[in-house]
Amino acid sequence: MAQASGLPFPAVTGNVKTKNLAAPVQFVTEKSRQLLASISELVTPGSNSSSSNQSTTPTPQEDDTHHNERPRLTVTEEEVLQHINAHKKFRLPDVEGVEVADLPSFDEFTQYGKVTDDSQRELWSKEVSRLVSVVTSRDPLTFCGSQDLAVDSIKAYETFTNLADRFLQALGIVSYDGECLLAEHDPDLCQVGPLERSRVTLSFICNKEEDGDNDDDDPPAIRLEDLFAFIDHCTAVLARILYAHAESKEAAHRMLSHVAKISAKAKVVSVNPEDSARISIDTGISEAELAALHKSSENPRRNADAGQGWWAALGLDAGVAATPGRGGDWSFGHDAPDRTLDLSSKKGALRHVYFSQCAVSRFGLIEVLMHIIVRVRGSSRLVRASYSSHEISAIVYTTGFGSFQTLVFQDRDNNFDGSSDQAMVDSASHAFGLLNDTVRHIKETSTRAAVSSGNDSEEESVGNQMTWAYVVYGDSELKEKSSTIGLLAQERVDLRSMSDVISVLVPLLFVSPMLVRHVNMALEAVSAVEQQYVPQQGPDKKPRRDPPPRYAASFCLDTREHRDAQSRLGEKDSKSLSHSLIRRNGLFSGKGVTQIGRVNTDIADPSGWGRDRRAAEERKAAVAQIHKNQAELDAAKEIMKTWVLEEKGVMVTCKLYVSAIMAACTLLTVGGIVVGITVGERISGVDPFNITTYCWVLAAFLVLVAKSVRVHEWPWNDFLRGRVLCKSVSELSSVTGMHAQLIIAYLLECEDTSFLETRGPFHIVFPRKADDGFSIDEPLSMWTLLLSGLIMIEVESSVGPSLVCLDLRKGTNHSEVKSRHAARSGDPNSLFLCCVRLQDQSIDIYSNEPRARLAYANGMSWSRAVGVYGNNKAVFV
């Protein structure tokens, strides 16, 4: 079992500069400080922004080889700058002799402040240099803020939230300008929804300045150096993750170029967002044009010729082309009859290709950045999460009979989401590796003690702490090791400053399944457009595929107050994700294979085991029990592989049982005949063949009982063939001797590959139902639900405590349970597997535990998510 040393990153080519491995990656902040003076002078002359602690020029880094390193892409500043300047002269490599010049450039900012074209090109060049240095380095990415962020206090959290708000406002301006440009030049690609949302954001910024006579409502002033460093950190993490996923050099260069332009423009407009918002509205489309776009978007284009003329005009193969916007769930194109693009000429078609590439790339990147900021500041504009008591955690663990990997995430607002899609889990591995490197670097270099800038409680540390375990398995190790996260002790590090918190918070948010999904959609959209407009031919142009890394991870960022509150909860109370039943090895630490244990194997300090021999012995026993339960589960899986899941039942072989019954019957019948022959007339007045008849009747009775004692029906054909069709869980358990909960868990895992139809009193969680199907006549335990990926979240609804299921069954791409939910009629996202009125459920007479009744509800609302349901002995009916 190898400890992950970080993400493998490409070799350095060209004039790429990196720093020594012993030091953190400070060029993010350094570039930010270099840009700060330039931007401040251009936009707000006379502003006095600090720029200190300039570092020396980084030295090239030697090439290292990692155990799971993938093929590398080479990136140079010159190639990225070519994509930035593509608007000057745009052409396709497969279309010779055709090019268009002087196209409008996206994300220009010369209209804001006193920025000239030369200054704009200089800022773009600096951003490209910074991002190329980021993606070609293996050093951990860290955030370095000013003295305002020296302590992880409530005041520092408020400052950080204000930075996020300012960045979000800047992204709104960037998004609005880009959509307005599309509405003017290629309205088919304009996204009306984001355009309207950005217009609302800009109006809010302008109205906020007009209503600014109440100074008490104004947020405290922020330092531009902190703002630029935060933008640099977010875009650096995004660039490195995008680069790790990029399938080709073309896609990597295009994405990096747009990240650089978005970052530069966000910095410029964020210096004075009120003036920038007003300029953006004045130079954008009018309200009448916006209303016309909104009206046209309500009637999607149905004419197939409208979106398929570009490839014919360029003379490309029609089989390569597709409608723009096929990547993910994003649809580009709507009806705009009065503003259609001229596709009759090659240059007109080429212009459409240019706008399509820019629209798809920008839209995905801005969506990802906005989701990051929303997760940072909280999803509600009116109510923000507590600064002093919260948890952000992510767990990747393998479960089920097929050892499928599951990713579960909890944010500071108590929103839960997850995925059990292997592609999603594999995609998150790059962010987890980056997070692990950052946290480990902070632990190795953190020697500062927590300080306080005063006696005010808002300036005292809230006690942020990161607890984590991260391991990457090799293929051979997976066959030998437990399928859980492993038995490694978790590590801990106290985050002494807000800068450290920001350093780990941004990559931690990138492991959220929601963000992983958006990153994948952005990359798929770019790849789809690239394959449409630039046909992939030859082995050197084939998409690059990485070997999927197998890993397990557990990261938790929480505060002192939250840890104290969790420690006061009882065993059966609902808890946060890091303290829940699905924590490391929780499903396999019970006394039996179908029981959930309470033994804590997450001891953080292995050095303490030697001083406390009793604790060491307890952990050793717990580890042995985990291995034993895992071995029993693996053995059960091998037996269940021989079962045949039919539509109406489960066919199992029982040749040994039938052979034993037939042997006993043969012995009785043959023995009866032998007795009749050997006794003969030795006993006067007794016919010895009556004994033979009695033996035959006894044999027939034995067969009758043997065929009926375990199953309701057993046809002679199946009996003689040594097989039986079980039509209920109880029958299958009786025939095979397998625990009923193991059977239900196996059937739940196989539901996507089998045709089994179910019925019975406890079959609510099964999708296919029939009146004569397989009967689920045993209630489901908490262990069965969790093993199958069904996680019960306790919420507070209008009728009292209730349960809502976070459905992460095998192959689920994405599922979420938000902290607040208002049911809307007809909304498919409002259909949940839930248990209403948890306190009113009946009590099982045998176990004295609640029997929670599950049902699908479409009209359930709740005001707060409490945590993961903690009653490990609950029964679900």
Q: Are 847 and 873 in contact (CB under 8 A)?
A: yes
Gap between the Cα atoms of 285 and 267, Å rounded: 23
Q: Report the pLDDT value the prediction gives residue 496, as an integer from 0 to 100.
A: 84
Partners of 407 in the β-ladder:
396, 419
What is the structure's pLDDT at 756?
92
For residue 509, the model assigns a pLDDT of: 94
More confident call, 719 vs 60: 719
Whole-Å CA distances, 199 to 152, 178, 185, 203, 280: 35, 12, 19, 6, 9
> Can you spell out the DSSP letters for 31-50?
HHHHHHHHHHHHHSTT----
- pLDDT of 599 over the 80 cut: no
The predicted model gives 842-870 an average pLDDT of 77
Q: What sign has the CA pseudo-torsion 160, 164, 167, 169?
A: negative
418: nearest Cα among 439, 401, 394, 398:
394
Q: What is the 3-state secondary structure (H, E, C) of 846-872?
A: CCCCEEECCEEECCCCEEEEEEECCCC
Mean pLDDT of 708-721: 91
Q: Which residue has the tokens 């009653």?
A: 871
Q: For residue 531, is it left (φ>0), alpha (ψ between -120 and 50) or beta?
A: alpha
How confident is the prediction for the chain on average, in pLDDT?
Answer: 77
- Residue-level pLDDT at 442: 93
pLDDT digits (tens, 9 = 90+) for 447-499: 554 444 445 556 788 899 999 988 887 544 444 444 444 455 678 999 989 99
What span, in angstroms and rounded, lies between the C-alpha atoms of 571 and 569? 7
Q: How wide is the angle at C-alpha 457 spanned by C-alphas 453 and 461, nearest 5°?
A: 65
| Number of other CB atoms surrounding residue 183 within 10 Å | 23
Whether the pLDDT of residue 684 is over 50: the answer is: yes
- 611-646 in b/e form (b: 16+ CB < 10 A) is eeeeeeebbeebbebbeebbebbeebbeebeebebe
The Cα 450–Cα 560 span in angstroms is 13
Alpha-carbon distance of 5 to 440, in angstroms, equals 10
Cα angle at 496 between 610 and 36, to 5 degrees? Answer: 145
Pairwise pLDDT comparison (85 vs 300), residue with the higher score: 85
* SS3 at position 766: coil
Question: In the beta sheet, which residues pair with residue 866?
Answer: none
Residue 857 CA: distances (Å) to CA of 414, 767, 770: 21, 15, 20
pLDDT over threshold 90, residue 90: no
Rounded-to-integer distance, Cα 603 and Cα 612, Å: 12
Lookup: tokens for 370: 């906005």
Spatial neighbors of 362 by CB under 8 A, at least 6 apart, are 106, 107, 178, 258, 262
Q: Report, as an integer, the average pLDDT of 208-217.
A: 53
Residue 453: Cβ within 10 Å count: 14
pLDDT tens-digit profile of 755-789? 999 998 898 999 888 888 999 999 998 889 988 88
Q: Which of 23-32, 49-58, 325-334 has the lowest mean pLDDT?
A: 49-58
**Which residue has 């307890």 as its token pair?**
618
pLDDT classification of 546: cutoffs 50, 70, 90: low
**501 token code pair:** 């918190």
pLDDT at residue number 555: 94
* Amino acid making up residue 2: A
Q: pLDDT exceeding 90 applies to what percent of the chain?
A: 31
**How many angstroms separate the CA atoms of 253 and 361, rounded?**
11
Summarize the confidence of residues 430-445 as an average pLDDT.
Answer: 92
Q: Which of 223-237, 597-611, 711-725, 819-833 has the lowest mean pLDDT?
A: 597-611
- Parallel, antiparallel, or unpaired: how do β-strands 875-876 and 850-852 relate? parallel
Q: What span, in angstroms and rounded, lies between the C-alpha atoms of 677 and 317? A: 90
pLDDT in tens, 163-198: 999 999 999 999 999 999 998 888 888 888 888 888
Of the pLDDT bands very low, low, confident and very high (cuts 50, 70, 90), residue 54 is very low
Question: How many angstroms separate the CA atoms of 144 and 499, rounded?
Answer: 6
Task: Please tell me the distance from the alpha carbon of residue 611 to that of residue 624, in angstroms, as a whole number.
Answer: 21
CA angle 577, 583, 587 (to 5 degrees): 130
Model pLDDT, residue 366 = 92
Reduce the DSSP state of residue 98 to 3 states and report it. coil
* Residue 98 to residues 52, 532, 632, 657, Cα–Cα distance (Å): 49, 17, 67, 78
Q: pLDDT higher for 524 or 264?
A: 264
Residue 579: DSSP 8-state: G
